[in-house]
Amino acid sequence: MKPEILVITPIYAPTLAKLEGEYVVHKLWTASDPQALLREVGFGVRAMVTTGFVGFKRSDIDPLPRLEIVACFGNGHNTYDMAAAKERGIVVTNTPDPTSETVAELAVALLLDVSRRIGESDRYVRAGHWTGGPGSFGLGHTVMGKTCGIVGLGSIGRGVARRAEALGMSVCYHGPREKADVAYRYYADVHDLARDADALIITCPLTADTRGLVDGAVLDALGREGFVVNVGRGPIIDESALIAALREKRIAGAALDVYWNEPHVPEPLKALENVALVPHSGSSTVEIREERGAKLLANLAAHFAGRPVLHPVTA
């Protein structure tokens, strides 16, 4: 008999289809009464599937007395109740994947979008406003020969740096400490970095030190012809200060993949033309989703075959 699994939130559709071919799948998010579904099927469920963003809590696993494994599609973001899983002896797995390069790719794409006014131009053409010759819409800014300031030279930041150099940009960076293995100029103060950069790209994690790091003073240092791109986390930029700087044209533009209160995007940001907005899609590629799906399926298959899982989460 096929093992019963509970999928608590939507995942990549091709992976879900494969799960349905190999297991008896219960979809919690489609139930009109989730608690009634848990009462009906909870005793038979041996595996739970979740995502990195949703994770799992003690209250998710308590109704499942025979639960053996939680398989996560993606990587956790402090969303796993590992203490609760350990108490029950439940195996937890995830799907480690190389998202740094895809996020870096998006960061540079966003810089090109906002500096060359690609999204804005697209809206202009679709609205039927283009009636003149080439260039009648207005001018963008080239990135070649400009300076890319990176906030956080981790794996994503390094990916951005390589791509920026390929576009003919010079690279400098800010972080908690100078990196000994790179030749890029280091700035201990983010204000100094912003002052010397034409584009400020945020790739660092959200910590107590980085929350609100890019405030009004940093944006003013970036200046009227500067662009800011955020693929890190929303609260790294002071959102109110950013809206004011964009409205008052104290910076040239912004491109955002992340926001303070996702999925809520402030209406003032939506109303501005000098900002590009995408829905936290740094790792949203077919290639990444296929890799995650394959690893999730492999973890479950190994567990139910009595073999060690391939990607255990231990802390």
Q: Is 178 exposed, middle or buried (0-12, 13-18, 19+ CB in 10 A)?
A: middle
pLDDT tens across 151-183, in order?
999 999 999 999 999 999 999 999 999 999 999
**Residue 1's pLDDT is what?**
86
**Residue 134's pLDDT is what?**
76
pLDDT band at 89 (very low <50, low <70, confident <90, very high): very high
pLDDT tens across 47-64, in order?
999 998 899 999 999 999
Q: What domains appear along the chain, each with residue ranges and CATH number?
A: 4-97+287-304 (3.40.50.720), 99-277 (3.40.50.720)
What average pLDDT does this structure show over 19-25?
98
Q: Does the pLDDT value for residue 283 go beyond 80?
A: yes
**Residue 75's pLDDT is what?**
86
**Residue 29's pLDDT is what?**
96
Give strand ranges (E) for 95-175.
147-151, 170-174
Give the Cβ contact number of residue 267 at 10 Å.
Answer: 8
Q: At what angle do helices 99-115 and 286-304 cross, to 10 degrees?
A: 160
Residue with the two structure tokens 């998710």: 60
**Residue 132's pLDDT is what?**
80
Q: Is 276 helix (H, G, I), strand (E, B) or coil?
A: strand
Closest CA to 255 of 228, 281, 283, 233: 228
Query: Which string of b and e fits 214-225 if b means at least 16 CB within 10 Å?
Result: bbeebbbbbeee
Cβ neighbours of residue 205 closer than 8 Å, sequence gap 6 or more: 152, 154, 232, 233
Give strand ranges (E) for the chain.
4-7, 24-27, 45-51, 69-73, 91-93, 147-151, 170-174, 185-187, 199-202, 227-230, 253-256, 275-277
DSSP bridge partners of 277? 256
Distance (Å, whole) CA 206 – CA 234: 8
Q: Does the pLDDT value for residue 77 go beyond 80?
A: no
Residues marked active site are found at 233, 262, 280
Distance (Å, whole) CA 65 – CA 42: 7
Distance (Å, whole) CA 177 – CA 172: 13
**Residue 82's pLDDT is what?**
94
pLDDT band at 220 (very low <50, low <70, confident <90, very high): very high
pLDDT tens across 234-261, in order?
999 999 999 999 999 999 999 999 999 9
Percent of the chain surpassing pLDDT 70: 100
In the predicted model, what is the mean pLDDT of the chain?
A: 95
pLDDT tens across 149-158, in order?
999 999 999 9
pLDDT band at 19 (very low <50, low <70, confident <90, very high): very high
Q: Could you tell me the two tokens for 102?
A: 């895809």
DSSP at 29: G
Helix H or strand E encompassing 122: helix 118-126
For the question of whether the overall pTM of this predicted structure is more than 0.85, the answer is yes
Contact present, 125 and 70 (Cβ < 8 Å): no
pLDDT band at 137 (very low <50, low <70, confident <90, very high): confident
pLDDT tens across 106-116, in order?
999 999 999 99
φ/ψ region of 125 (left if φ > 0, alpha if ψ in -120 to 50, else beta) reads alpha
CA angle 165, 181, 315 (to 5 degrees): 105
Contact present, 292 and 12 (Cβ < 8 Å): yes
DSSP at 141: -
Q: Could you tell me the two tokens for 78?
A: 């402090």
Distance in Å from the first CA to the final CA of the chain: 33
Distance (Å, whole) CA 49 – CA 14: 14
Closest CA to 240 of 275, 268, 200, 206: 268
